[in-house]
Structures are given as structure tokens and as C-alpha cells.
Amino acid sequence: MAVRIDPIEESSRGPIHVVVAGYRARPNADLIRAAELRGSTYSVLWAAGSWSEAGASMGVIARGARAAVPAIHGGRALLGVGALAGGIGTAAVIGAASFRHRYYCARRDGIRLADKILELPGVGKRPLHLVGHSLGTVVIRSALEKLAERECRVDDLLLMGGMTSRLNWNLQADAFRGRLINLYSPRDRILNMAPVIDRVVGTGAIVCEKLSDRLMNHDLCLELPNQFNLWGHHSGYWNRFGQYAVV
């Protein structure tokens, strides 16, 4: 799919906010409006995937279970356990491959998003803020790199439960002139299960000397829904991000 920017609120004055949601998600316009951001607000649609991908993994597990249950009931426990384990293992491989593909899409669509941002009315004359959640932070970071090449300066970056790496922010410090705001939770089980190598911003503080005077890390673990509510904890940032978005 092509990257698309949809207006949520438009104004000829104030900052421009571009909001990107994460894996298999779309920005919730009602929650974004509830943040009462000043100026214009836009949501981004990118190739974030769909729950049909998750359905493919669950289908593999279901087929394994259909073979495993009769085998166990028939006294062939080893065969049954093997069928079930094989289904779960294959589903895990499919899920990891799906995620890695979406990670690639996030990088690619961030580059495409930069071109779309440059077409927004008032860009270059009004403050520009980028907001990303989960895998949407990878989209945002990729767009930031491309915008810097096009000499478009971003003001604030707001990362929520982010999947992008904590590393090498010093290389991008000059690509924006405002704050880097990182909202995270070390108990985010969704992020802790993600098949990534680097430590991600959504589970810990970013450390960057070059940004020391404009880097803000906020541990929201205790302010989010209980960690055992996996999705609620990971997505709970949307209910309170407005208080961090604009000073």
C-alpha cells in the first residue's frame, strides 16, 4: 500500500503534528483528538500489516492441535506432543518472519513519509513534531533521516513504547532542533518478546551526550495498565501522550 497522511485537525496556525501508530495498528483519531494538540494533526497510514498475518500463525497451531489431540487420545502421546510442538514452532517462525518484514516496511515507508510531509501546508514555516508508537517509531526515525537530507528541520520527536534502537542517536542529533521525548516501560512484555537484537527505546532510557540538554526520558510503567494486560500496557501511552507532546 502507498503511504497516506490523513488530516485529523487542520489549522493555519500552530505546530504540525504527524502521528504514526505501530505494528498491525492504525492511529485512533478519537484518542489523538483527546490529546488536544495545538495546530494541525495528521495520522499516517503505512504498511503496518493486518491481523490476518496473526491468523496465519494461529492456523498453523490449530492444524497441529487437530493432529495432536486425536494422537494423544489414541495413546500416541509422543506423536501428539511432537505435532503440537511442531505447530507452535512453525507458527513462531512465521510470526518472526512477518515481524521482520514489517520492520523492513517501516524503514521503507519512513522514507516515503518524508516526501508526504514536505507536501503538508505550512511545513518549513511552522514547528513540525513527529509522534510514533511501537513500530511507528521506526517509521518516524527513517523519515527523520530523509527529511534531514531534504533540509527540512523537525522540532520535537515523541517516541512511545518504541521499537527503534536506543543506539546512535548522536548521529541524528542535528536532524532536529527540539526535544527527543522517550516514553517507555521496562515491563513492556510486547517489546520484550519482539525478535530484535538491539535494546529498544520502549523498554529503557536513551543515553546520548549530544542531546543531553534536550533529551527527556519518562518511565511510565506505573502509569500504564498492568503489565499482565500485555496489549493494554503496550498501547496505554495513547491515553496520556498529549501532556508530553507540546510544552
Sequence-ordered strand ranges (E) for 34-81: 40-45
Output the pLDDT for position 25: 82
Question: If you average pLDDT over residues 172-187, what whole number do you get?
Answer: 94
Domain with 229, as residue range(s), is 4-49+106-244
Q: Is residue 63 part of a domain?
A: no
Q: Is the pLDDT score of 235 beyond 90?
A: yes
Output the pLDDT for position 125: 92
Q: Is residue 90 part of a domain?
A: no
Q: Is the pLDDT score of 88 beyond 90?
A: no
Q: Is residue 20 part of a domain?
A: yes
Q: pLDDT digit string (tens) for 103-124?
A: 888 999 999 999 999 999 999 9
Most confident of 46-55, 67-76, 191-200: 191-200
Give the CATH number, domain containing residue 141: 3.40.50
φ, ψ at 7 (rounded to 5°)? -75, 140
Q: Is residue 31 part of a domain?
A: yes
Question: If you average pLDDT over residues 73-100, what whole number do you get?
Answer: 48
150 to 40, 41, 98, 119: CA distances (angstroms): 22, 22, 31, 12
Output the pLDDT for position 11: 94
Between 65-79, 127-141, 179-193, 231-245, the lowest mean confidence (pLDDT) is in 65-79
Between 3-7, 56-60, 93-97, the lowest mean confidence (pLDDT) is in 56-60
Question: If you average pLDDT over residues 79-98, what whole number do you get?
Answer: 45
Question: If you average pLDDT over residues 146-159, what whole number do you get?
Answer: 92
From CA 187, how far away is CA 221, in angstroms rounded? Answer: 7
| Mean pLDDT of all residues belonging to the chain | 82
Q: Is the pLDDT score of 22 beyond 70?
A: yes
> Per the structure, how many domains does the chain have?
1
Question: If you average pLDDT over residues 136-157, what whole number do you get?
Answer: 93
Q: Is residue 91 part of a domain?
A: no
Output the pLDDT for position 246: 65
φ, ψ at 32 (rounded to 5°)? -70, -40
Q: Within the chain, where are the H helices? A: 29-34, 51-73, 77-117, 136-149, 189-193, 230-235, 242-245
The residues pairing with 19 across neighbouring beta strands, listed in sequence order, are 43, 131
Q: Is residue 98 part of a domain?
A: no
Confidence band (pLDDT; 50, 70, 90) for 93?
A: very low
Output the pLDDT for position 103: 85
Output the pLDDT for position 216: 96
Q: Is residue 212 part of a domain?
A: yes
Q: Is residue 240 part of a domain?
A: yes
Q: Is the pLDDT score of 56 beyond 80?
A: no
Confidence band (pLDDT; 50, 70, 90) for 50?
A: low
16: enclosing H helix or E strand: strand 16-20
Q: Is the pLDDT score of 1 beyond 60?
A: yes
Output the pLDDT for position 243: 87
pLDDT above 70 covers a percentage of the chain that reads: 77
Q: Is the pLDDT score of 191 beyond 80?
A: yes
